[in-house]
Amino acid sequence: MSTVAMLPGHARIFQAAARHFNVFILVRRTNLASLRFIGNKDCVPKRIDCKAKTADNPVTPENSEQIDCAGLVADPTLLGQAAFASDKKYQKALDEWARFSMAHIHERVRTLEGQKSVAIIPDGMQYFVDLDRSSPRYGCLKYTQGYLNMGKYIHGDFDLYGIVPADDRRNNVAVFETLLGQKHSRSPAFRDVQIFVNSRIGAPMILHGEQDTYAEDHSDEGIDVFEPDGSISGCENLAQIEWLYAIRFRGRKLFTKSQQRHFGYDGNETFEGFKWAL
């Protein structure tokens, strides 16, 4: 297994949480460049309503100083392909940025002149891009709960892939709800794990529920697995994740969209391998 994608102290916190709650905690591997920003007073972790991607590499534009964007959510249309580790990641960043910027960046703050003309983003919106070309973080996204001059850069969070009870591995139990205007789902153990980990890290690095409570298919990616006995294992790709769910988790299933819609209207029904948690 490759190195766990978090700082050693944070890994120990996840190990302690897995032992304490007797669960497997599956964590998608975070952009390693984001780790340096955890706890930085000028930065915040990425919230559920921010689907835009973090950059992988710093960028040095022609006749300009290096832009320190690695590990921060960035506008790929400004920083270009060099900020991302591959063509595939760059294209995905462009696709997500198109959707995110349309919904979450007000027209008034899409230019530097517009940003200078307002103190607060209109209509209660909270995101804007650093458009100052002299800034070492030009092109990076910022979040504010008030004035623009209070904006903070956004780094990657810890995305949970799943929380699986050691004594009931097969059944996938989920709560469906709304969080920050987004459809949200989580396991019954999520809140306990979230509070345990975030309080000990000292930053809200877990901000939303697990992928296996809403995904229809498994992802082809690496994940770290914190086990109930305190050990750490991992999966490197889709085949290994599918094996984990089929064998070690005894056929644990993912929710389909039809089942999610059904549960959203009627919490009294169950499907084989699934339960509705009230």
* pLDDT, tens digit, 9 for 90 and up, residues 195-247: 999 999 999 999 999 999 988 899 999 999 999 999 999 999 999 999 999 99
Last residue of a domain, one of 155, 172, 188: 155
Task: Name the burial class of residue 60, with classes exposed (0-12), middle (13-18) and buried (19+) by CB atoms within 10 angstroms of its CB.
Answer: exposed
Q: Which domain holds residue 176?
A: 8-30+157-267
**50 lies in some domain:** yes
Which amino acid belongs to residue 92? K
- Residue 162 main-chain phi, psi, to 5 deg: -175, 155
Give the pLDDT of residue 277.
Answer: 44
**278 lies in some domain:** no
Give the pLDDT of residue 269.
Answer: 46
**274 lies in some domain:** no
Q: Count Cα neighbours of 63 within 13 Å in the Cβ-side half-sphere.
A: 0
Let me know whether 143 and 51 are in one domain: yes
Let me know whether 215 and 187 are in one domain: yes
Let me know whether 77 and 125 are in one domain: yes
What 8-state DSSP symbol labels residue 275? E
Let me know whether 189 and 250 are in one domain: yes
pTM of this prediction?
A: 0.89
CA distance 79 to 60: 9
pLDDT above 70 covers a percentage of the chain that reads 91
Let me know whether 199 and 137 are in one domain: no
Q: Which parts of the chain have pLDDT scores under 70?
A: 1-2, 256-278
Let me know whether 38 and 141 are in one domain: yes
CA distance 101 to 233: 37
Task: Name the burial class of residue 106, with classes exposed (0-12), middle (13-18) and buried (19+) by CB atoms within 10 angstroms of its CB.
Answer: middle
Condensed to tens digits (0 to 9), the pLDDT of residues 158-181 reads: 999 999 999 999 999 888 888 888
Let me know whether 119 and 89 are in one domain: yes
Let me know whether 22 and 73 are in one domain: no
Domains in the chain, number: 2
**214 lies in some domain:** yes
Give the pLDDT of residue 35.
Answer: 97
CA distance 97 to 157: 18
**174 lies in some domain:** yes
**275 lies in some domain:** no
Last residue of a domain, one of 125, 155, 185: 155
Let me know whether 104 and 53 are in one domain: yes
Give the pLDDT of residue 259.
Answer: 55
Give the pLDDT of residue 260.
Answer: 52
Let me know whether 39 and 151 are in one domain: yes
Let me know whether 25 and 47 are in one domain: no
Let me know whether 137 and 48 are in one domain: yes
Query: Which residues is 24 bridged to in the sheet?
Result: 164
